[in-house]
Every structure is written in C-alpha cells, then in structure tokens.
Amino acid sequence: MTGISRRSFFIGSAVAGVSTLTSAGRVFSLDAALESLYGPAPGIAKLNANENPYGPSPAALKAMMKASAHGAYYVRESAQRLREMIAERHGLTTDHVVLSSGSSGVLTYLALASSQQGAILAPDLFWDTTSLMGVRNGSNGIMRLPKSPSLAIDLQAMEKALDADISMVHVTNPNNPTGMVLDSDELRAFCSRASEKCTVLVDEAYNELTDDPAASTMIPLVKAGKNVAVARTFSKIYGLAGMRVGYMIAKPELLEKVKQYGLGDYGLNQAGVAAAVASYNDEAFLAFSKTKIIEAREMVSEAIRRNGLTALPSETNFMFVNLGSTNAESFRAAMADRNVLIRGIYRDYNHWSRVSMGKIEDVQMYVDALPAALEAAS
C-alpha cells in the first residue's frame, strides 16, 4: 500500500466528494458554506483529537447515504448485525458485546457501576475522562499510581497497589496521550491475576493501529471467562469519530452492569451503525489509513529531531513530544497562531505536547511551523 494516494484509493467511488443527499426520490444540495460546520475550516490543520481524516471509507459513505434515507426509524437490525460481526470475529456470542455512542459510552457506564463499589486504580497519566464520571457523581475516586519517569504504565506497581478498596483497574493500551504499547505477555499475565480481585478494564481504542493488533488485544481473556472488559471504537482508524459508534466486549454478567446505565440501541443512529458495519471488514481502507499514519509519524519524528526534541515511541496516530523547557500550553497557542491545532498541557505534564497524525498536508503545516512556534513559546 506504500505510495497510495487518497485520490487513487477513492477513485471509482460513486460517493467520493458527493455534495447531494437523496431521500424518497428528492435530491438536496449541500451548501458549500455549511461544510465548515462539520470539520476544520480550509487552511486549518486539525491535529488535536486523534481522528482519521481519511475516513469515512467509500464503503462507509455509501452505507451512510442508504441508511440516512431510513433515518425516520430507530436502529434495530443493523445494530444486531454489527454485534454478530464483532462476536463472530472473536469466537464469542452476541451476549458478550454491547454497543454505545462511541466507546466513551460504555467506558463511562462501567466506570459509574464500578465506582459505586470502590476506587478505580489507574496510571497517573491516561485518558481519564470517563473514569472521572464516577468522581463527578459523588462516588469513589481514581487512585493514581505515582508518576513513572519513563511515562510507561508500571504493571508491577499497579499490582502491588491492588487491595480490597479497588473495584476496577483501568488500563489504556496503547496509552493516550503517550502512545506507548505495553508488552502483550506482561499485560495478559497482569490482567489475568488482577481479574481475580476486581474488574479489569482495557481501553483498546487504538488497537488496530498497533504493529500487531491480534497479539496486543486482551479479548482472549474474555473468551477464557476472566473478569476483563475490553472497549473498542470506530472513531480512530475507521475514521468515524463523528458517527459515534463504539463497543465493549466482556462476559454477559459484567455487561449487565454496563446496561444499567446506557440506553441500549436507542443511543445509536442509523448512519453511524451502517458505517460501522460497512467498515468493520474493510481491510483495504485500514491498510491505506495505517500507511498514511506511519508516513505522518515519520515526518513528525524527523522534524522534532531536527529541532532538538524527542518523543515517546508510538504505534498510534499521535505522538507525545518532549518540549524540553518549553511550556506545552504556550507552544499550543503558538501553533494555533499558525493555524495548527494541537493539544496543550495534560495534568501537570507541563512540557509534553501531543500531536495527532492528520492529513499529510496538515502534518506538513506542523512541520513547517515547528521552529517558529518553539521560538515564540520559549
């Protein structure tokens, strides 16, 4: 797939660049002025949310248009079809799969359920938005491990911290915002032991982006009956962040806790589920996307090296850059002045900056702006 352009990949697709929608035989033109409501304005490099701007795939676009013509109806059969596809891939039954509006839904529901019983154990640095929902609702909080000098998740320290006050362990692999991947064998052994004491949640939002997704996943532990839940999303490599489809895989009795908080299929939408069904086995689009992401990572790696910076190793569509003495929020503002949108400070990691791998031309804007932004932020 090396050298494939977006143009050549999409060529032949009847929906690439479509500016009309059809419903009940009527054609509606999309006002070009409205298109900026649905994504970044022209000239803006949006590299702050780990989206895949090459999505949706041609197959997903076609499915979305067909499904949208039936938008008067609630989701039913298509959601069941998606559950069947996910279960079949992993040798499970549909009772092991629950869908939600993005994986943030199921992550939040499990955090709410678990925090009623005890604290959530997690690294100091991880995507904590959903686990914090328990804290905001007056339940038990998050017990964070001490900072790790390498910013890697310390599984040994996490296991030592397990006690009767912990109801759930939250591990993100690959981790966000670091992009680092845990050793698969070590994580599998840890999850197996920890699941004897509490629920283990593994957020695998970026699994498909790793060098070896099959080896990295903890879904086989679910199949083995362990008290492990794995969350996935269509928001990242599938390029469907705006369509809001995610899922959790766990044993049925654990998913019953999740279902107490969600709305079931009423929380889904026709177009999003249709896009997920069409994308799930679209290996050509996934390979294309991965090729572009790797190309972008190489561009950023070379740029930060030329500017005397370093970054953590990443197998994802983002990188965590060590800015040295430069403040990450000042750097974010300097990049924004140059029409490049990136993330600012995470917690108190004041000199670390996350940048997403967007379109190649947008990543080039980051590369070109880097020297001047660093100088302005210093």
Looking from the CA of 139 toward its CB, the CA atoms found within 13 Å total: 22
- What confidence score (pLDDT) does residue 10 get? 45
- What confidence score (pLDDT) does residue 34 get? 72
- What confidence score (pLDDT) does residue 18 get? 42
- pLDDT by residue, tens only, the chain of 378 residues: 444 454 444 434 434 444 444 444 444 455 666 777 899 999 999 999 999 999 999 999 999 999 999 999 999 999 999 999 999 999 999 999 999 999 999 999 999 999 989 999 999 999 988 888 877 776 788 999 999 899 999 999 999 999 999 999 999 999 999 999 999 999 999 999 999 999 999 999 999 999 999 999 999 999 999 999 999 999 999 999 999 999 999 999 999 999 999 888 999 999 999 999 999 999 999 999 999 999 999 999 999 999 999 999 999 999 999 999 999 999 999 999 999 999 999 999 999 999 999 999 999 999 999 999 999 999
Alpha helices in the chain, H assignment, sequence order: 6-10, 58-68, 77-90, 103-115, 132-136, 155-161, 184-194, 213-216, 219-223, 252-259, 270-279, 283-306, 328-336, 360-377
Which are the contacts of 254, defined by CB distance < 8 A and separation ≥ 6? 199, 227, 229
- What confidence score (pLDDT) does residue 30 get? 53
- What confidence score (pLDDT) does residue 45 get? 98
- What confidence score (pLDDT) does residue 216 get? 97
* SS3 label, residue 247: strand
Query: Tokens in use for 378?
Result: 């210093």
* SS3 label, residue 280: coil
Query: Is 356 in contact with 47 (CB distance < 8 Å)?
Result: yes
C-alpha distances in angstroms, 253 versus 55, 149, 229, 282?
A: 35, 38, 11, 31
C-alpha distances in angstroms, 302 versus 155, 280, 307, 341, 355?
A: 31, 33, 9, 19, 14
* Reported pTM: 0.90
Domains and CATH numbers, the chain: 6-56+282-377 (3.90.1150.10), 68-279 (3.40.640.10)
